[in-house]
A = this chain, B = another copy of it.
């Protein structure tokens, strides 16, 4: 285990907030994910909150009422800011102190004074508007699923994944300005497209708009320029995870990406879920890394017993599509795929250690994308291009519609959760993004 289990992981623990105890709840007392929010339709300042059942708790307001002190109080005060960068930068001991204080106050055995302080600071989740939880200084997107890389290379007729895939957690820098929260709607991107058989590009709205199922990884404490992060220290630099949709225009990408990588194909929109599930909440779901023992060993800076034994996290991930027809007919969305983050070839810790090994400085609130998460089965693919085999086998929805790519009016919904016998369910909530028609 990356972190030892403690009483906050006890599956028998129950909250006096009854909605947190429902078996399918995303936000039981063992979870306590963070977001930034305010009451809907107000001009209140955004501030940090944790989710518990169907409620959000305004952390700083609670801390001042509850007369919290010490490290937990310092951490709670930092959560009163409109972005959580300062809280992230305080590091694991502060995160842990606040988590344990919240756990005690929300626990069914909490004294009634504690309950009163909490009750005064709850807002129903249905009444909140979330904001971006951090001022994101840099956004880096990785490429760490061997299944995804293999699927894509087969579909493009390549000879296999790149020679460097098993040596390097491959990554590139992405765009911060267009990162939006769940609920994001964006105009279909237009750009240069080289049609098959043509010798000159056309300018057109993308004809091959796709999604990519990923996890977002928030950096907690950063590192100074020139000071790498050791692999076994890397998890302590990570605050937590969210869902992330790396929208991708495959046709724009194919024509622009040589030699310097994707640019306009991906920088028009990236949609993230508002709630950040902490690494501590995820501790019970650690597994050995899926990298086969027969593969060449990574270089020493990317290899440790701890990473091999517990580098993976079994997070169930689902992709759903909701079209205009679903909405008109009030039909449930169509599920497109279901996989787990446990299949990823490189771990979160390896991504962080690699990112900093050249001396690159990470800062609190930086966001990393895990790379598309695809599993070994066809139904586990993290992008529509993979599911529909590059248009040759379109996916059929429960409306009877077929899809090879994302069409105007389609919404893509990501969901994530951890479930395991003997442990409480840890949910991520959802991330929803919708494509508007191009303007051109």
Task: Identify the A interface with B (CB < 8 A).
Answer: 137-138, 140-141, 143, 162, 164, 167-168, 170-178, 186-187, 189-192, 194, 200-203, 222, 225-226, 228, 249, 252, 255-264, 267-269, 296, 299-301, 354-355, 357-363, 366, 436, 439
Contacts and interface: CB of A to CB of B under 8 A. Distances in A.
Q: Which 3 A-B pairs have the closest CB atoms?
A: A261-B261, A187-B226, A189-B358
Contacts of A138: 175-177
Contacts of A200: 167, 296
Contact of A256 (B140, B168, B255): B168
A176 to B, nearest CB: 5
A152 to B, nearest CB: 9
A161 B214 CA distance: 34
B177 A258 contact: no
Question: How would you classify the secondary structure of chain A's contact residues: helix, strand, loop or mixed?
Answer: loop
A142 B172 CA distance: 15
A36 B106 CA distance: 48
B168 A255 contact: yes
A167 B186 CA distance: 26
B225 A301 contact: no
Contact of A168 (B175, B186, B192): B192
A125 B275 CA distance: 48
Contacts of A269: 225, 359
A290 to B, nearest CB: 21
Contacts of A137: 176-177
A203 B264 contact: no
Contacts of A360: 175, 177-178, 189, 264, 267-268
A358 B249 contact: yes
Contacts of A191: 357-358
Contacts of A363: 177
B177 A259 contact: no
A36 B189 CA distance: 36
Contact of A201 (B167, B226, B354): B167
B268 A177 contact: no
A21 to B, nearest CB: 40
